[in-house]
Structure 1
């Protein structure tokens, strides 16, 4: 199994970050290759299923995902149920607000009772574990003379780029403006 983890600091309340991230259909706005997310059934909690349609080159590929567990406002676990062997989560951890760093990043800092300024800050983690070799070749309508192996060699490196893009764009929406986002990217894979 390959693993990719992207972490960053977000200047927002953990509850607001959680509500934002549990809205899976929103993710298509942040991805270059995720064309559409359609809720199949459920209310966003455990058991909610989605169809995620990806597009790249001349290929379109739809996988089925399911929310497997939630712990508001700290965690959203999910798994791909059809198309590829993959699991992942969004983790949200409240951290002590660094007022000076928030101010430098252009984030509004509140001053409660004129005694001490603070900033709503949390660490957000996106993690995915997947087996690229488990991709269901029957679901792909490949052009003549194009192999699944050829497609995988070109698509796998895009996973890292997409994860980073999604986190950066989500941070901009959460905070209400774009800024340079410091990301910590951890990869356990020889292919990414």
Structure 2
């Protein structure tokens, strides 16, 4: 399995971050290649999504599902069709030196150490070789292997873009976001 993990700090309480991330339909606004999201369910465990991707000459709709939630700490998901892939959002409050954390609904107090802080981590794991041959209608002389090799770096770029845009929406403004990125 290949894996990409992107983490950063958000200046909001974990509960607020969790509720925001659970609203998955917004993700089409954050991705360059995700054109639309249709939701079937309330957003919790068991909710399914139809994710319409477009890249180059390719168009594909993936079906995914939220498989488990642990409010306000974790949202697990899995792709249901054509590809072995899964992932999660991890939401971890960062305690201040005095051991306190910010409560949901309290005002944000700036980046001087007095603000609520939450570490947000996006993880995606996928097996590129598990993609079904008929997954997309490929142009003549283009192999699925070629497409997979071209898409691999796009997955990392998309993960970074999504996390940066989520932070901007959560905090209400764009800032230079320090990301920790791990791939394997």
| TM-score normalised by L of structure 1 | 0.86
Query: Pairwise mapping of residues 166-185 of structure 1 onto structure 2 (< 5 A)?
Result: 166-185=162-181
List gaps (5 residues or longer) in structure 1. Answer: 99-106, 111-116
Q: Which has the higher strand share?
A: 1
Equivalent position SS for 2:176: coil
Query: Pairwise mapping of residues 39-188 of structure 1 onto structure 2 (< 5 A)?
Result: 39=39, 41-97=40-96, 108-109=108-109, 118-188=114-184
Which string of whole-angstrom CA distances, capped at 9 and with x for unpartnered residues, describes residues 57-97 of structure 1?
01011111000000111100001111210110000000124
- Between the aligned partners of 1:67 and 1:5, the Cα distance in structure 2 is 18
Match of 1:26 in 2: 26
Equivalent position SS for 1:182: coil
Which string of whole-angstrom CA distances, capped at 9 and with x for unpartnered residues, describes residues 138-175 of structure 1?
12011111111111111111000000000000000000
Contact 1:97/1:119 (8 A) holds in 2: no
- Between the aligned partners of 1:48 and 1:133, the Cα distance in structure 2 is 27
- Deviating runs (4+, > 4 A) in structure 1? none
List gaps (5 residues or longer) in structure 2. Answer: 98-106
Query: What's the offset of the Cα at 1:137?
Result: 2.4
Contact 2:12/2:108 (8 A) holds in 1: no
- Between the aligned partners of 1:124 and 1:169, the Cα distance in structure 2 is 13
Match of 1:104 in 2: none
- Between the aligned partners of 1:63 and 1:97, the Cα distance in structure 2 is 41
| TM-score normalised by L of structure 2 | 0.90
Which string of whole-angstrom CA distances, capped at 9 and with x for unpartnered residues, describes residues 30-83 of structure 1?
0001111111x2211111000111110010111110000001111000011112
Counterparts in 2 of 1:67 and 1:108: CA distance versus 1, 3 Å: closer
Equivalent position SS for 1:9: strand
RMSD after superposition: 1.6
Counterparts in 2 of 1:175 and 1:97: CA distance versus 1, 3 Å: farther
Contact 2:4/2:181 (8 A) holds in 1: yes
